[in-house]
Chains A and B, each alone.
Chain A
Amino acid sequence: MSLRLILAVLAAKLVMHISRLLGKGRGSSLPGMLALRICPDLLGHFENQPRTATIMVTGTNGKTTTNNMLAGILEREGYQVVANREGANLITGVATAFIRSSSILGRVRCDYAVLEVDEAAFTGVTKWIKPRLVVIINFFRDQLDRYGELDTTIKNVLAAVKQLPDSTVLILNADDPLVARLARESGYHSKFYGVRPVQELSGNVAYSREAKFCPFCGHALEYNIYLYSQLGDYKCTQCDFARPQPDIEAESVTTGVGGTTAFLNDDKNKWQLNLPVRGMHNLYNALAAFTAAYLLGVKPETAVAGLETYTPATGRMESFRYGSKQVVLVLVKNPTGFNQALSGLLTGEVEQDVMIAINDNAADGRDISWLWDVDFEILTRTPEKFKRFICSGQRAEDMALRLKYAGVSPTIIEIENDFSRAVDSALNGESGAVSVLVTYTALWPVEKILSRRAERMKQSVDYSVPSVS
């Protein structure tokens, strides 16, 4: 027990307390940052404190959702869990999560630590804390000016995995060749999850695909089916690299505005899942959480029940009500996530006003070129669904320009850099529904404005799939 550690924890707890009093943000990174300054080996003190194990979730899209789903399942099973739930996934956010649950002497009482870790921070965090399970969900092109190219990201994660003890188990997305390859490349024991590739699920958003070539021999990958982005049923045209048969596979999948239903199959038994959030990407998040829980020995029925009561964290698709209008807030970070959000817009049945807020701070990615990799062109297939597009944020003009070149009529494009005025304009439009799509640093301010103007719904309001036990 070092004095430094106690000092670090005290200082961090003081900052948490003050930021709570001032109501300034949620203080999910700053306390950890301060504590690490005072005690750089802080995480080492926490490493062996979870009584059972530490699980880490990394990858590009869906870390927060997957992590929160898994933490929710474990809590439902009766475990005490430490988790960084707000998406603060750098080393500072991990430190904050531990400190929040620790005594002033730095003691944490928990059974599991469930940690979402940024791909770029994975090496740094695993230097201090060795997880028993690593869940790797997908790799998409993200804010390139921060990370360098996707190849580098994958190589770094692989190198960090190889530093972990031999007993570490990887939980991998079978449908993403960029993830599945890690089983062979690392040589670690791996379990796979995936969605049974049937024609009905074949996605119609085709652009921004990575992984056109086999990571082992360099020849072209051939796809039987694309589910979305590079996820699908693939095999190399030259060597034996192909989609592995998943240990847990989702089948009979139906997706709708209300949510997603599927059967989860472990080759012996099947469990029906009614997931209250829409989109294939959320089914993958649920599959990843389910597979991790399954391997940890949680009863599958408990895991399913945990997933069915999942409520999205801020901006990972939140619902509000404004008068008679439904308002949906969605975080968009990269082309794949944005394409998913656009597919969501197309499922709406009433005409909508759409607000898109694009910032270019470091956490958003300073380079906003990626907007041109998003398939906005699909919006022009059903022009009757969209009344207006209100572009906001630091790069409102660039967003407007992208829509114009996608074929959206400039007469329905507005530019309003100020969030407050943009939200007002969107809420007070003539259409029956509002969708708000925002980048990371626009999320908190827009969410704050929305929650002042509109009533927050507890759960995805359009969830209408009956629960089956």
Chain B
Amino acid sequence: MSITVCHLYPDLLNLYGDRGNVISFVQRCRWRGLDVQVREINLDNPVKFEEYDFLFIGGGSDREQSLIAADLGARVDSLRAAVEDGLVVLAICGGYQLLGRFYRTPEGKEIAGLGLLDFYTEAGNRRLIGNVAVEAEIGGRKTILVGFENHGGKTFLNGLKPLGRVLFGNGNNGMDGLEGARYKNVFCSYLHGPLLPKNPVLTDYLIALALQRKGIGTELSPLDDSIEERANKAMVKRLLG
């Protein structure tokens, strides 16, 4: 029994070391003796979303985002079905924005998103850049997620559950104190860093959800996370004192 990971558009969406999220997910499975396969899906590659246990989608520059919106738009029904069925998804930055209803340009034009989650993004007048600390509840555990944000768009949730509350930094829009979004087993965030390596509580939760959906026992054996915790704490201490 093996866990199958789909890395969507690694050729196009790989800004800011986002592949570190896939590395992190895969290593933490392997260190526990779980078998993992990663398949990279690029433009025009056929993909059956229902075959996967974890899907990762990163961020890209504007030109790349528009290529992808078209490509993914053509297969949105199969992706929606998988999401509704509980597919575990992590979407970062540009990949996050893509899942929403639309992106409003500075001229007021609305570019349609995939509409999988009920939120929208509008162009901001300045980029939100810097280190971020977010308080989140992951699998019933309160934790502080740390990362680095760099985005021009401001995202607003229509009552959708956020990933967490901003303790330091901007998050979704720099206004409402919310960061990221959650829907079923979909997790969205603006945090690079990348997100998963320094936040192993979240990584393990994603692995556990993927196993649960496959109907496998979800007790993950503990790992020695001393370096992970040190890296997380160093940033928490710097930002929050």
- Report which A residues bind B (CB closer than 8 A): 144-145, 149-151, 212, 366-373, 397-398, 400-402, 404-407, 410, 413, 415
Contact = CB atoms under 8 A, between A and B. Distances in A.
Given A369-B194, A398-B231, 18 more contacts: A144-B16, A150-B61, A151-B61, A212-B11, A366-B130, A366-B131, A369-B16, A370-B16, A372-B17, A372-B194, A401-B198, A401-B228, A401-B231, A405-B20, A405-B24, A406-B23, A410-B226, A413-B227
Nearest to B192: A369
Nearest to B26: A405
Contacts of B27: 405, 407
A367 B16 contact: yes
Nearest to A149: B61
A185 to B, nearest CB: 16
B193 interface: yes
A397 B230 contact: yes
Contacts of B197: 372, 401-402, 405
B107 interface: no
A410 B15 contact: no
A415 B228 CA distance: 12
A406 B24 CA distance: 9
A145 B224 contact: no
Interface residues of B, number: 31
A424 to B, nearest CB: 21
The 6 A-B residue pairs with the shortest CB-CB distance, nearest first, are A372-B17, A372-B20, A369-B17, A397-B231, A369-B16, A149-B61
Nearest to A368: B148
A415 B230 contact: yes
B23 A405 contact: yes
Interface in B183-203: 192-194, 197-198
Contact of A397 (B12, B194, B234): B234
Nearest to A406: B23
Nearest to B149: A367
A151 B63 contact: yes
Contact of B227 (A145, A149, A407, A410): A410
Interface in B123-174: 129-131, 148, 150
Interface in B1-60: 11-12, 14-20, 23-24, 27
A397 B146 CA distance: 13
Given A151-B63, A212-B11, A369 B227 contact: no
Contacts of B129: 145, 366-367
B230 A369 contact: no
Contacts of B226: 410
Interface in B87-145: 129-131
A149 B131 CA distance: 18
Contacts of B18: 369, 372
Interface-centre pick from A150, A366, A404, A405 (highest chain B CB count, 10 A): A405
A400 B17 contact: no
Contacts of B23: 372, 405-406
Nearest to B11: A212
Given A369-B20, A397-B234, A413-B227, A144 B15 contact: yes
B237 to A, nearest CB: 11
B228 to A, nearest CB: 6
A406 B231 CA distance: 16
A410 B224 contact: yes
A410 B230 CA distance: 13
Contact of B17 (A366, A371, A404, A407): A371
Nearest to A141: B15
Nearest to A397: B231
Contacts of B20: 369, 372, 402, 405
